[in-house]
Structure 1
Amino acid sequence: MTKISSSQLEKVNTHIVNWLKTYAENANVNGFVIGISGGIDSAVTSTLCAQTGLKVLCVEMPIHQPQSHVNRGREHIEQLKKRFPNVTNIETDLTLLFESFKKEVPLEFKKDILHLTLANTRARLRMTTLYYYAGVHKLLVAGTGNKVEDFGVGFYTKYGDGGVDLSPIADLMKSEVFALGALLQVPETILNAVPSDGLFGDERSDEEQLGASYDELEWAMKENESGKSADDFTGRKKTVFEIYKCLNKANQHKMNAIPVCEINKM
């Protein structure tokens, strides 16, 4: 359930749009570039950026993408272009580039490790593509991470979808992103879709990868911030809390600043 009331959603929307516009104007850029995945986070982020009136470039970057993801992304882009004249789009198919990369590196590793590493490689190829378009069009790369992903369980790729210039929805829980998406008239196909990162070329959901739903992880994040421990819970709640703590600990290297060896402390 969303943590922001319906009466607050309009204010949140206005606040983020003003923040985006002010940041872009101060940075002296033309607008924003966003990778469109067919999911709720990129749909909401691109709609927020579109409301600034600045240039918004939506980029599709398929790599063996499930057709359902492609269809949802295209539906959203077409709807957004009809609503906002400042929105344009382009598709850069990275499938052949990804396959070429695989031919140049050794692949004789444990299956689970290899699949995860290649999934992260997809995200990093997309980041490079977004920064290409950002450079030639003088745009900022808008991140699509939400609060529970970015600061709770670290469910993103370092220097992949984590490589951005600014993060407009990173202080919103996933449930709040869905609520804002409904307000912003994001297509029903996206609002009703099961969250998936689409990095494995199949329909596997985020919940299958994480071991818990976003609602469960939001609950665990709140309980952890209040000082609770796994011993305070039993059954499924205990399991979810332990999943959250394990992911949060394992992914601190994503959430913390890059460590610097300071010579003056020798």
Structure 2
Amino acid sequence: MSKVVLITGGSSGIGKSIGEYLIKKAFKVYGTSRNPDNYKESLFPILQLDVKDVTSIKRAVKTIIDTEGRLDVLINNAGAGITGPIEEIPEEEIKANFETNFFGPINVIKAVLPHMRAQGSGLIINITSIAGYMGLPYRGIYSASKGALKLLTEAFRMEIKDFNIEMTNVAPGDFATNIAAGRYHAPILDGSPYEKPYGDTLKLMDSHVDTGSDPNLMALAIYKIITAKKPKIHYKIGAFMQKFSIVLKRILPDRLYEKLLLNHYKL
């Protein structure tokens, strides 16, 4: 029997690539979008879901259960980028980012757990970021929200271990998607003490996305995780140096690692 997969944010970017790959492998895939009417040409059904709206989450999960009778895999992929000097990012934008990147996945997990527990199996994959392993300049809020989801995964795993439900964290590096266009960018303010360093860093970040890895690499990685007998707790997917940066953070003195980041961002 084909496994049933729910991918939040499955209408574009990494989510779309994952869904299309899984379709080829005979999985039954459902994606989500806040505006599904914009994706009528999708190769798999796109349900209306906003991770900040619990009612829409419950409705989408109910639709899948009513149609398929089960839900085997949840991929918490929906997320939002945010950049800017922490001092200058409006508080409402900080809260909105955490609503999408942290509280949203929690609410989707809460909606699917009772069904997975009743069927006696399930896999939840939380898509975080390599940025969640370190505090990055002018991406501090994004790093914090993704890092929070990574730690939540570690705790959640232990709480659901008796239900035969697995949970894992997948941290991608930079991939060639349209994420930069969807980010909230704090404006570069004339006369701000951050005007030049933030402006230069923003250009560097956008260039990293433009030259990022092929999203199909993430799709293949997710397929391997779904078909693994015992998924690992953490996965890092991306360019070698991005993954190696996590190793360096673990072994280098804090100030030396900070200096490497400052040199990388030319700050």
| TM-score using structure 2 length | 0.40
Structure number with higher relative contact order (C-alpha < 8 Å, ≥ 6 residues apart): 1
| TM-score using structure 1 length | 0.41
From the two aligned structures, give the one with the greater strand fraction.
2
